[in-house]
């Protein structure tokens, strides 16, 4: 069975700041009575909400959606479509590890003036870390792109 890999809450907050508006079934929630108390926020799938908090449908309006937590592949596609950044996790058979690369497609990210400037920034980071899984490599790439490239 293939298990979905979701972004972290930190990544999800950065995505929201950067204009990410895609929906996910996995979200952060808070009850109306606890609004304003971040320690009471909880994360669950939308279809598990009633089981998770034990309320019936009539009272579900007392629950607030706080943050969408998307799957990694949706973020990778969003980066490609909205920001022209292609993110890849490459397998290195000689060391049985993964590394990531994020590279421009046609247009360079807004924070860089030239393709060369962008390529130098990517080269400084790319290849410095090895990961046991492609999901971990994608997570590191998403962190880097959200904090340095867009």
* pLDDT interval class at 47 (50, 70, 90): confident
Q: What is the pLDDT of residues 14-27, one digit of tens each?
A: 999 999 999 888 99
What would the mean pLDDT of 7-14 be, rounded to a whole number? 95
pLDDT over threshold 80, residue 135: yes
What pTM, to 2 d.p., does this model score? 0.77
Helix (H, G, I), strand (E, B) or coil at 92: strand
Rounded to the nearest 10°, the torsion over CA 133, 135, 136, 138 is 130
Q: What is the pLDDT of residues 82-134, one digit of tens each?
A: 988 888 888 888 888 888 887 766 666 667 777 666 666 666 655 568 899 99
Is pLDDT larger for residue 54 or for residue 63? Answer: 63
What would the mean pLDDT of 3-17 be, rounded to a whole number? 94
pLDDT > 70 fraction of the chain, expressed in percent and rounded: 77
30 within 8 A of 40, measured Cβ to Cβ: yes
Give dist(CA 136, CA 139) in Å, integer.
5
């Amino acid at each position: 069975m293939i298990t979905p890999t979701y972004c972290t809450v930190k990544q999800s907050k950065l995505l929201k700041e950067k204009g990410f508006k895609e929906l996910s079934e996995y979200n952060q929630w808070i009850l109306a009575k606890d609004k304003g108390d971040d320690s009471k926020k909880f994360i669950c799938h939308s279809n598990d909400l009633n089981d998770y908090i034990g309320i019936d449908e009539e009272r579900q309006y007392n629950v607030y959606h706080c943050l969408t937590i998307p799957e990694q592949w949706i973020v990778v596609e969003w980066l490609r479509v909205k920001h022209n950044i292609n993110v890849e996790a490459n397998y290195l058979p000689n060391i049985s590890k993964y590394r990531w690369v994020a590279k421009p497609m046609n247009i360079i990210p807004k924070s860089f003036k030239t393709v060369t400037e962008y390529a130098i920034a990517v080269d400084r980071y790319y290849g410095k870390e090895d990961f046991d899984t492609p999901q971990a490599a994608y997570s590191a790439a998403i962190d880097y792109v959200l904090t340095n490239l867009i």
